[in-house]
Structure 1
Amino acid sequence: MQQRRNGRGFWENYVEGNHLKLPELKEAAREINLVNNYIYRDDIPEYPRPQFQVSFLKHDTTAEGLKGIRQDRGFRDLCGGFRDPHERSLVWWSLSVRDEDMEAAEKKLMEEEYSGMNGQINLARFATSPAFSPKSRLGHFRFTFPLEEVLKAYSQQFCSGGQPVMQVYKTVLYKQEIMYAVLVHSPDDQEDSTEDPNAVCFFRDGRFLWRSEAMCGTHRYKLNKNNNSLGVEEIPPYPPKYYVWDNVAIAFDVGEEVLEFNVDQLRQNLKYCELDSVTYNFTDKLTAEQAEELIRDLWPESPVENLPRHTGDGDAPPPERPS
């Protein structure tokens, strides 16, 4: 494990070219004597480790970021001031897990992991980490795109119509957050990408498959397995049990270019969302009405109607982050 300052100017602990599962990540942290109050905890109650099949991506931004996206008609790397000159220029997205993805993951888990057992998990109760939150830590404005549309745009603009290459990029450990990054780049880079069905995240049949290592932000429930019975026990809320939580970021290599979309496409996939109690950097705090006014100013040809006060990933359709 190595340490460096990332594109947002924050220190991060990372392992290049690999997605480390929890036991491996703990060992890597111990090897450098990393001080962390979360990763080493061993008193965390049992919780499920589902596989999500995700076909939507999200990109959160601030008001200033939104203005830039509208002006550019797309997304560009904005970290040039902090980025090492030898690093790639990347546009960061995250996996957007919808309600139907959660239901499908629970069904698959029951069929494969708990086959023949009586009881239910109700997986959504365990999805308490920011990775599943309708709120944002990066800004009030969320673009939620079908993965197919983003890959098509990237293929046409950066791959001459060819298939983008996807590969494991790195594992990053912040204070409480684990980020598994996947790199998407042109096949001209001549870098191999292999599909590992046991990996934390891999691409198959037009979707990202994510085996979440730690889906709970606060552990409020315990999964109980007893012979043929499966149950969920509620845990007293105080003191709260915190552990690490994980998410997947998809990094598109764009160089100095813009990943462009039709302006109507941008507007249709844009929603306002409330800020989380924790934010990664200073962000503007806007009401839904103020956000509506800004969107109207930026897209005057597309009237804003019924802008929700917040959005969940289940609303779709219409990265680097420190903790």
Structure 2
Amino acid sequence: MATTANFSERKNVRQANELTISGEHIDIKHLKLRDELKGKQILQTYLTKDIPDYPTPVEFHITELKHVTNKHCLPGILNSGGFLGHDSLSWWNLKITQADITEAEERYLESFFPNSSKEERRDQQPFLSEFTTSPLFSETSRYGNYRFTFPLTTLMEAYKKQICDGEEPVLRVYGTKLFKQEIEYVVLVHSAQFNKKFQHLPHLASSPLVSYDGNKIIWKAQAICETHNFQLAKHDNTVVIGGMFSHQFYVWDHVSFVFHITNILPLPKGSLIESLECCEIDPDIDLSKKGSFSNLAKAKEFLKNLPECELEQDEKEEYNTFEEIEKEAD
């Protein structure tokens, strides 16, 4: 792989150490070969490990995005009727369901055993859920108690109409971010009017790990476990899992979509409320800047006591328009 730039080290807005490179999505194999990373202390514990066989890569087809926030920011989202961004960027993560995991397992088996029989497929025991244990797949959150979830097509169509004046959004490779145990591949979404501003970033089609076909995100996940308790073995034309003598910690990877928003991405308040749910905070890591409740019941009570959002007539009309957007996206 040709290298055009090196990783830079900094503290992010949450004061966590991160290594970043712009305009590239670099897979784990090539990250391990990067000379400028070999001496970085924050990566030595996990990235350099050799892990027993596990499912990799696993292709997920994702149709939803989620945005998590805390109790301090939630009222602002509801009152303003949409999403703002830090430094004009609104950050979203993939929402992966059990159905997505099941379909990814089927694709993995098809690629691993292309000549397997119907009987062998029938006898194959489910296995991927034993490995999808990284924070990405958890129902808990590290960033706050309040999670908004939208269909990808609905969100992109709203962005197209509200931000892009009806033109198709532009998707680019924003970069790769490395933390002690986490690898984040970032995709930038922006309006065509900012092509000059972001022309230094390649289009998403150049990414070896993430693609977008207008209806779904296709992600080739490399490290889905974080904590490895099982290993994978091949038996005839099926796979079996076995326990490990001792669990192993490793890196985990995920994808973020960042929407470039200079003002606000407005969404009907009724839609915002319908998409909102409470979630528990990760018991080990809380990155919400103390803006979270450790108790889920308290989080629900806070939401319940927020001023009720009553849809006025103009808001109802806006909500109907949003329903039309959803239909167009379908």
**TM-score, normalising length from structure 2?**
0.82
Q: Does 1:193 align with 2:222?
A: no
The residue matched to 1:267 in structure 2 has which SS?
helix
Number of the residue aligned with 2:173 = 168
The residue matched to 1:104 in structure 2 has which SS?
helix
Give the alignment of 1:76-225 within 5 angstroms.
Answer: 76-78=84-86, 80=87, 89-117=88-116, 118=120, 119-190=124-195, 191=199, 193-196=203-206, 199-225=208-234
Number of the residue aligned with 2:269 = 263
- Opposite residue 55 of structure 1, the aligned amino acid is T
Distance 1:62 1:235, change over 3 A: same
How many residues are matched?
289
2:250 to 243, 246, 265: 243
1:254-280 CA-to-partner distances (Å, cap 9, x unmatched) read 12x111111111110001111112122
CA RMSD of aligned residues (A): 2.0
Distance 1:291 1:229, change over 3 A: closer
Separation in structure 1 between the aligned mates of residue 134 and residue 297 of structure 2, nearest angstrom: 28
Distance 1:214 1:29, change over 3 A: farther
The residue matched to 1:188 in structure 2 has which SS?
helix
1:75-99 CA-to-partner distances (Å, cap 9, x unmatched) read 1124x5xxxxxxxx20000000111
Distance 1:223 1:60, change over 3 A: same
Number of the residue aligned with 1:254 = 261
Separation in structure 1 between the aligned mates of residue 37 and residue 254 of structure 2, nearest angstrom: 23
Contact residue 214 and residue 245 of structure 1 kept, 8 A: yes
Number of the residue aligned with 1:14 = 20
The residue matched to 1:8 in structure 2 has which SS?
coil
1:146-194 CA-to-partner distances (Å, cap 9, x unmatched) read 1112111211121001110111111111000000000000012224625
Q: Does 1:38 align with 2:62?
A: no
Contact residue 127 and residue 240 of structure 2 kept, 8 A: no
Structure 1, unaligned stretches of length 5 or more? 81-88, 303-323
TM-superposed deviation, 1:31: 4.4
Number of the residue aligned with 2:63 = 55
**TM-score, normalising length from structure 1?**
0.83
Report which stretch shifted further, 285-294 or 90-99: 285-294
1:213-264 CA-to-partner distances (Å, cap 9, x unmatched) read 100021111110245342111224xx43100001110000112x11111111
Number of the residue aligned with 1:319 = none
Separation in structure 1 between the aligned mates of residue 188 and residue 294 of structure 2, nearest angstrom: 32
Report which stretch shifted further, 26-35 or 127-136: 26-35
Q: Which has the higher helix share?
A: 2
- Opposite residue 161 of structure 2, the aligned amino acid is Q
Separation in structure 1 between the aligned mates of residue 177 and residue 21 of structure 2, nearest angstrom: 7
Report runs of 4+ in structure 1 exceeding 4 Å deviation. Answer: 29-32
